Amino acid sequence: MSEGSLADVICPVRWTTSAASAALPSDGQILLWYLEQSQIPLHAEWLAPDELARTVRMTPDRRDEFVSGRNALRLILGSFFSITPPEVVIRVSDKGKPHLENDAVEFSFSHCQRKLLMAFSGKPLGADLEALRSKPDLLRIARRLFDSRCCGQLEAAGDAQQRETLFYRFWSAHEAVQKLRGDGIFGERHLPPFVAGFELHGFRGAVASTIEAPEFLMHEELPLL
């Protein structure tokens, strides 16, 4: 992690679109999945007892989002290790970050308006997905979260639309960095070696990684059972 401004390090990313694969990410590689929630099975029986207990307190929409996210994780991770989805054991750290018990592969994911972005790598990473929508108090939010250079660029933006586009570029990248760190959106602002931002079907996405120049593969279908 290094000091600096998020505004100066976010880079564009290009990926190769690939058919769903059961291969683990190789060294220097990040595998992305971009999915509609409707593509993911809602099998509550795949969840662990502690996960099922969490769903009791959720609204129906939040429950479906949670179950679909865990099921997508289990389908992909199960394909990596040639095990069934219910056999995939997902732990949660003291800071609330899901992970595998042996950390055999790192992952991060983000839900947004029934869309799901998931990222897998052999090294720590964070991923975020945001919908571009009007946010009248974005400068106030930016001053609480972003460094002075990011805030200066937002204040200098030519109009409201440009300001919102720039805000979500910084916001998604900030979320991805903090997910990599695992210490929440108000955690320290040290930057990892790599931060990428991109547009994805009308959404703003970002990935932060400890890999300096990763190769990206994008998937839009889940592995078959």
CB 40 within 8 A of CB 71: yes
pLDDT greater than 70 at residue 118 = yes
pLDDT of residue 117: 97
Burial of 169 (0-12, 13-18, 19+ CB in 10 A): buried
pLDDT greater than 70 at residue 3 = no
pLDDT greater than 70 at residue 2 = no
pLDDT of residue 201: 87
pLDDT of residue 97: 84
Average pLDDT in the 121-143 region? 91
Average pLDDT in the 187-207 region? 88
Burial of 43 (0-12, 13-18, 19+ CB in 10 A): middle
Cα four-point dihedral sign 137, 143, 144, 150: positive
| Residue 60, both tokens | 């129906």
CB 89 within 8 A of CB 48: yes
CB 123 within 8 A of CB 209: yes
Among the listed ranges 14-23, 28-37, 215-224, which one has the minimum average pLDDT value?
14-23
pLDDT greater than 90 at residue 58 = yes
Whole-angstrom distance, CA of residue 77 vs CA of residue 62: 22
Helix (H, G, I), strand (E, B) or coil at 59: coil
More confident residue, 225 or 126: 126
Whole-angstrom distance, CA of residue 219 vs CA of residue 224: 13
pLDDT greater than 70 at residue 46 = yes
pLDDT greater than 90 at residue 122 = yes
Average pLDDT in the 30-57 region? 95
pLDDT greater than 80 at residue 44 = yes
Strand order in the sheet with 203-209: 10-12, 194-200, 203-209, 125-131
pLDDT of residue 115: 96
**What DSSP letter does each residue of 26-40 carry, written as one string?**
PTTEEEEEEEEGGGS
pLDDT grade for 26, boundaries at 50, 70 and 90? very high
How far from chain centre, in Å, is Cα 36? 14
Average pLDDT in the 169-192 region? 83
pLDDT of residue 225: 72
Mean pLDDT value across the chain? 91
pLDDT greater than 60 at residue 95 = yes
Average pLDDT in the 207-217 region? 95
Q: Which residues pair with 208 in a beta bridge?
A: 126, 195
pLDDT greater than 90 at residue 188 = no
